[in-house]
Amino acid sequence: MLKFHIAAVLALVSMTTVQAGEGWYESFEEAQSAAAANDVPLLIHFHASWCGPCRQMESQVLSRAQVQGALRRGLAAVEVDVSQHPDIAQQYGATTVPRDVVVMPDGSSRTLNVGFKSVSGYMGLLQGIAQVKKPVQQTVSSTSIVGLEGFCPVKLLADRKWVSGSEKLKETYRGVTYYLSSQEALETFRKDPRRYSPQNLGCDPVVLLKDQKAVTGKIKYGAFFDNQLFLFDSFENRKAFKQTPLKFTRIQHAIKVDELAGQRFN
C-alpha cells in the first residue's frame, strides 16, 4: 500500500444510472445521489492504477459475479481512483489503498477495510453493511407536514406565482404533503415531484452547511437557483446564498422528515 498527497476540491452532485452488470455506479456523484434517494449506505472502494494489491482485488475479488450481485443489494457502491479524485480521497481519509469506506444514511462514515480482502471476507463486509428494508406499518398520525405552507409548488416553479393549493388535490413526497391548485398541476407534480419540491425538504441550505442542522426555511425568504427553489430561515442566510450559491448547493444532504425542525408542522 502506498501513500500519496491529496488536494481539496468539492465534487458536484448529479443524478444517476447504475453501470450495467457490474454492480458499481459509474461515478461517485451518481452513487451518492442513489444512496440518498434510496436511503441506503454508500460504499466507496478506493483504489489506484499503480497499486498492486488494488489490481489483485480487481481481478480476484471485485470481478466475481457473487460480489457484483451483492453490490446491488441494499447499498450503492462506487470505485474511486484516488489519482483522479484526490478531493474525495481527502474527504474520507483514504491515505492508503485499497480501502473501503462506508457512509451511512445518517451521514456518518467509517473505514471498513484496508488492504487486500478475500472473496468470502469481502462478501461478509458487504452483507454487514447492506440495509434490508422491512415493510413499514402504515399508521394514521395527527401530525402532518404541509410543504410551502399550502401553496402550489407547480405554479411557483413554472410561473413564479404564489397560488394556494387545495386540500382535495394533494400529494405526499418524502413525507411532506403538497397542495396543488388544479388537477393538471397535481398530475404534473406526480410525474416529477423532485423537480417541483423545495430543495433539501425545504431546509435552509446555509444552516445545513454551517451547523449540520435541518431547519426548515420560510417561504418569504425563498430564492431560485438553477430553476430550483431554496428556502431560508432568515434574510441574512438568503443573502449569503445568493452571493455564492454553488458553495451551498454542490453538496447533497440526505435529510429525513423526522429530522426537520421548523414551522411546517400542522
Give the residue among 147, 167, 166 at the shortest CA–CA distance from 157: 147
Q: Is residue 218 domain-resident?
A: yes
Mind listing the pLDDT tens digit of every residue in the chain (266 residues)? 444 333 332 232 333 333 333 679 989 998 998 888 888 899 999 999 999 999 999 999 998 988 988 898 889 999 999 999 999 999 999 999 999 999 998 888 999 999 999 999 999 899 888 875 444 444 434 446 888 989 999 999 999 998 999 999 999 988 889 999 999 999 999 998 888 999 888 888 898 888 878 888 888 888 999 888 999 999 999 999 999 988 887 655 555 545 555 544 33
Q: Which residues contact 219 (CB under 8 A, 6 or more apart)?
A: 148, 149, 151, 162, 231
Grid cell 472502494 in the structure block, residue: 45
219 and 163 in a common domain: yes
Q: Count H helices, E strands: the chain?
A: 11, 8
Q: How far is CA 191 from CA 115, 186, 196, in A?
A: 45, 9, 10
Domain boundaries, position 65: 28-129
Q: Is residue 136 domain-resident?
A: no
Q: Is residue 87 domain-resident?
A: yes
254 and 152 in a common domain: yes
Give the residue among 54, 72, 31 at the shortest CA–CA distance from 113: 54
Structural contact between residues 101 and 111, judged by C-beta atoms closer than 8 angstroms = yes
176 and 95 in a common domain: no
Q: Is residue 107 domain-resident?
A: yes
Beta strands in the chain (DSSP E): 42-47, 76-81, 99-103, 109-114, 166-173, 176-180, 218-225, 228-232
Rounded-to-integer distance, Cα 228 and Cα 196, Å: 8
Rounded-to-integer distance, Cα 130 and Cα 114, Å: 19
Phi, psi angles (nearest 5°) of residue 230: -120, 140
189 and 111 in a common domain: no
Provide the number of structural domains found in the chain.
2
Q: What is the DSSP string of 101-167?
A: EEE-TTS-EEEEEES---HHHHHHHHHHH--PPPPPPP---S--BBGGGGB-HHHHHHH----B-EE
195 and 120 in a common domain: no
* CATH number of the domain residue 119 falls in: 3.40.30.10
Rounded-to-integer distance, Cα 115 and Cα 173, Å: 42
pLDDT value, residue 260: 56
Q: Is residue 140 domain-resident?
A: no
Q: Is residue 22 domain-resident?
A: no
pLDDT value, residue 215: 86
110 and 178 in a common domain: no
Q: Is residue 6 domain-resident?
A: no
Q: How far is CA 198 from CA 153, 175, 204, in A?
A: 8, 13, 10
255 and 151 in a common domain: yes
Structural contact between residues 113 and 100, judged by C-beta atoms closer than 8 angstroms = yes
Query: Domain boundary residue among 73, 103, 129?
Result: 129
Q: Is residue 17 domain-resident?
A: no
pLDDT value, residue 11: 31
Handedness of CA 197, 198, 202, 203 (dihedral sign): positive
